[in-house]
Every structure is written in structure tokens, then in C-alpha cells.
């Protein structure tokens, strides 16, 4: 879509360039920005000049993902990785309602800060306990769990002038076994429920509900929960909602069924 109200585009090359003028908004991959009208947006600040497309494993074994790393690039990188959690990267990438061409342009950071309930990069990050480094306009930084960023379907705790710099996946989470389930009302429709889980080497388990709840639901257990305990916790979770992609009751039901499958797969 042409953004006819936009009067100028400038490329950011340093932190100083991130200061927004009135009407300006940040531009990452652009797959959402150019997909619909943007009322009130008169200028774009292109983040591509900052070189934030890193995919690095630190000396501590953490995975650092630059906010501007394309989702498709992350998917291909993980396909050659040997850590146990690697399959989850491709599974979450393929859970997007997006072709490989869109995934080649859409960025990890853009998908996270757009914060739709069906954001599969939020699901990936929440399942692996990833944190986000946020740059603030006053020059300070903060580090917060990615799972805590969404406040609703398409809203976050970030201000307009905040920038997601990178995402850090801790080394211990990369050594976990993972499992994934997804369901949609249409064969090629947006996720109505996206269910993920991981089991750490010490036996502790994390289960995550996204797409079915307005914000990520993260359930943690010191060991694999009993089937009835997990089912009860899933059904009692808050935030199930109704929209054209599914009713709240349907989302609650399929989340319970599919997370039971995730539990069984991780326990096997």
C-alpha cells in the first residue's frame, strides 16, 4: 500500500538518528507498515542502516538475535544448528501467515513489537525465556522478558520512541527439548491457537499459549505436570477471546487438547 501521507524517509545510522520528529515512526521490515493505512504517520525512520541483523552465539552460549534479523534468515540459521531447541525456530517461523518471500523481509523485532496475539516470534521468545533489550529516548536501556511486552492483541508496553535493539535467548533454554502445535479455522488462516513447550535437562517444564489468549500465557512446572493439572491450568487461564479467527470457548478447548499433546511429546 502507498502511504500517501508520508512526506519523507530517512535512514538511521546511529542512536542519535533515532530521535523521532512529530509524525515519524520507525520502519523495520515494512511488511506490516505497508500492509494498511497508517493515519497520522508523515515520516519514516528506516532502521536498516543500523546493521542490527546479528545472529551470534555469545561466549556464555546465549543466542543474540538482532532486532532487524529477517525471520527467514533466523529460520535458515537454525536449520543448521545442533542445539536441541533448534526445531522450534522453524516451527514458529512457519506458523506465521506469511510466504517465504514475506519471511525474507519481515524482521524478528518487527514481529515482536507488533505484538499481535498470533505473533509467532513472541511465542518462540516466550517459550525460550528470551529477553528484549529496549533503547529509550532518554539514552537509557532496559532488559525485559519478551513475554511481558504484549499488553493486548497488537499493543505493547513500549512507547512510540522506544526501540527494540536485540533479543537474547539464554543458553540453558537452547539445551531444552521443545514441542509445537498450531491450529487455525482455515487451512491457510492465521493461527487461532499456537501452543509451545519445552522440557529442560533438569526435568522442569514450560508451556506457552499464544494466539488463543490476548497476551502470552506462560505455565511453569518443576517437573512434567500430571495431565489433569495441566488441563486445569490451561482451562483456568485468562485472556481467551473471540474474533473472526475463533471463539473464546473454542480457543480454550483446543489449547487444552493440543498442550496435552505437547506434554506427551516432551514426556516421551
Class at the top of the CATH hierarchy for domain 176-267:
alpha beta
CB within 8 Å of 207: residues ≥ 6 apart: 195, 196, 197, 218, 219, 220, 221, 230, 234, 259, 262, 263
| Partner residues linked to 196 by β-bridges | 180, 208
Count Cα neighbours of 216 within 13 Å in the Cβ-side half-sphere: 30
Of the two residues 47 and 40, the one the predictor is more confident about is 47
Delimiting residues of CATH 3.30.390.50 domain(s) in the chain:
176-267
Delimiting residues of CATH 3.30.465.10 domain(s) in the chain:
55-172
Window from 25-29, 178-182, 236-240 with minimum mean pLDDT:
25-29
pLDDT tens track for 110-129: 999 999 999 999 999 999 99
For 233, the grid coordinates are 491450568
CB within 8 Å of 235: residues ≥ 6 apart: 252, 256
Using CA atoms of 203, 209, 214, 220 in order, give the dihedral in degrees to the nearest 10. Answer: -20
Quick one: average pLDDT of 94-104? 81
Of the two residues 27 and 218, the one the predictor is more confident about is 218
In the prediction, which pLDDT does 50 show? 93
Asked if pLDDT for residue 205 goes beyond 90, the answer is: yes
Q: Is 218 helix (H, G, I), strand (E, B) or coil?
A: strand
Name the pLDDT band for 31 (thresholds 50, 70, 90): confident
Window from 98-102, 124-128, 153-157, 228-232 with minimum mean pLDDT:
98-102
If you average pLDDT over every residue of the chain, what do you get?
94
Proportion of the chain above pLDDT 70, given as a percent: 99
In the prediction, which pLDDT does 1 show? 58
Asked if pLDDT for residue 96 goes beyond 90, the answer is: no
Window from 88-102, 125-139, 172-186, 202-216 with minimum mean pLDDT:
88-102
Asked if pLDDT for residue 138 goes beyond 70, the answer is: yes
Q: Which fold has domain 55-172?
A: 3.30.465
Q: Of the candidates 128, 209, 214, 132, which has an alpha carbon nearest to the alpha carbon of residue 175?
A: 128
Q: What share of the chain is helix, strand, coil (3-state, %, to 5)?
A: 30, 25, 40
In the prediction, which pLDDT does 101 show? 82
CA distance 204 to 120: 23
Window from 1-5, 35-39, 100-104, 133-137 with minimum mean pLDDT:
1-5
Cα dihedral sign for 113, 114, 115, 121?
A: negative
Asked if pLDDT for residue 147 goes beyond 80, the answer is: yes
Asked if pLDDT for residue 14 goes beyond 70, the answer is: yes
Cβ distance 106 to 97 under 8 Å? no
Amino acid at each position: 500500500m502507498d502511504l500517501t501521507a508520508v512526506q519523507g524517509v530517512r535512514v538511521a545510522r546511529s542512536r542519535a538518528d533515532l530521535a523521532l520528529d512529530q509524525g515519524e515512526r520507525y520502519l523495520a521490515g515494512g511488511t506490516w507498515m505497508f500492509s494498511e493505512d497508517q493515519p497520522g504517520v508523515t515520516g519514516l525512520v528506516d532502521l536498516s542502516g543500523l546493521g542490527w541483523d546479528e545472529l551470534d552465539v555469545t561466549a556464555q552460549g546465549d543466542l543474540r538475535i538482532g532486532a532487524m534479523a529477517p525471520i527467514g534468515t533466523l529460520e535458515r540459521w537454525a536449520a543448521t544448528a545442533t542445539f536441541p531447541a533448534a526445531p522450534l525456530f522453524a516451527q514458529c517461523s512457519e506458523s506465521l501467515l506469511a510466504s517465504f518471500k514475506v519471511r525474507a523481509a519481515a524482521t524478528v523485532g518487527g514481529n515482536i513489537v507488533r505484538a499481535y496475539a498470533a505473533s509467532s516470534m513472541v511465542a518462540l521468545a516466550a517459550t525460550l525465556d528470551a529477553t528484549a533489550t529496549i533503547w529509550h529516548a532518554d539514552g537509557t536501556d532496559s532488559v525485559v522478558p519478551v513475554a511481558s511486552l504484549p499488553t493486548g492483541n497488537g499493543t505493547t508496553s513500549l512507547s512510540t520512541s522506544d526501540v527494540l535493539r536485540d533479543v537474547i535467548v539464554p543458553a540453558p533454554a537452547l539445551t531444552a527439548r521443545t514441542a509445537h502445535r498450531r491450529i487455525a479455522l482455515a487451512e491457510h488462516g492465521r493461527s487461532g491457537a499456537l501452543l509451545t513447550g519445552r522440557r529442560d535437562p533438569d526435568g522442569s517444564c514450560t508451556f506457552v499459549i499464544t494466539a488463543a489468549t490476548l497476551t502470552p500465557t506462560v505455565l511453569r512446572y518443576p517437573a512434567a505436570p500430571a495431565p489433569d493439572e495441566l488441563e486445569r491450568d490451561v482451562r483456568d487461564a485468562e485472556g481467551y477471546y473471540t474474533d473472526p479467527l475463533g471463539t473464546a470457548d473454542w480457543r480454550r478447548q483446543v489449547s487444552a487438547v493440543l498442550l496435552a499433546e505437547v506434554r506427551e511429546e516432551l514426556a516421551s
